[in-house]
Amino acid sequence: MAIKVLQARGAKGPAVEGYAMVCPTSIQGWASIDIDTGVILEKGHVHQGESFAGKILVVPCSRGSIGWSGYFHSCFEHDCAPIGYVFTKMDSKCGTTVLITGSPCVCDFPDDCDPCQEIHDGDYIRLDGDKGTVEILKRAK
């Protein structure tokens, strides 16, 4: 039973479950990710030093270089990419990331729903890219 269900647009299915990593300022698109481990290198980032491998990444949008998708693509090739993506608003760098990694994605939330606020770091969530829903199944402690 979900604690809360967020409804948005499904960009790509299928459904996937996992722990959320929430980055309210996104991740910069250059010199910010170790493509061998998925560890965020950006200085001052809320998750600096942590890996997003195997997690569901929750960000408002992309940030910085057009190379943004390239880092996630390389991580995907090295088995250390997120398993799904939640974007507050879709942009073309995010779209390229979803296409090239083939990962499930929910995006384009209504203006009164900010997934970076609603979903907390470490929440266990179910992302359904076909239905466009994000279910918060278990809150982080």
Partner 1 sequence: MSSEVRLTEVEQRMLDGEYGPAKQLALSRIIDYAKILGATELVEITKGHVCCGSPHANRGESFDYDTWYTKRFLDPTGKVKLDHFNEDTFIIDDVNACDAYQWEWTNQTKEFFDGNKAMIQHATGMGACNGSTCAPYLAGWIPLPGEYFVTVESSNVLFCNSIWGARGNAGGPATTFLSLVCGRSPKWGLHLDENRKGTHVFNIQCASENKTDWDLMGFAIGQRLAPNAVPVLRGDFKRPNLMKIKSFFTALATASGAEMCLIVGVSPEAPTYEVAMGGKEPVAEYDITQEIVDEIRKNLCHPVSGPVDFLQIGCPNCSCEELAYYARCMKGRKVAPGVKFCIYTNIPQLKMAEMSGISQSLHEAGVELLTSGCILRTINLTKGAKAIGLSAVKLAHYSNTEQEIPVYFGTDEELMDAAVRGYWEVK
- Region of 126 please: left (phi>0), alpha (psi -120 to 50) or beta: beta
Q: Which residue has the tokens 């076909």?
A: 130
* Candidate residues 7, 79, 89, 130; the one interacting with partner 1 per rule CB under 8 A: 89
Number of Cβ within 10 Å of residue 48's Cβ equals: 12
Number of Cβ within 10 Å of residue 115's Cβ equals: 23
Q: Is 65 in the site for partner 1 (CB under 8 A)?
A: yes
| Contact region with partner 1 (CB under 8 A), list: 50-58, 92-100, 119-127, 133-141 | 92-100
- Closest-CA residue to 41 (of 29, 33, 52): 33
Q: Is 51 in the site for partner 1 (CB under 8 A)?
A: no
Minimum gap (Å) between residue 141 Cβ and partner 1: 30
| Contact region with partner 1 (CB under 8 A), list: 15-23, 50-58, 84-92, 119-127 | 84-92
| H/E stretch holding 93 | helix 92-101
Residues that bind partner 1 (CB under 8 A): 9, 11-12, 26, 28-32, 35, 41-43, 60-70, 73-74, 77, 87-93, 95-100, 105, 108
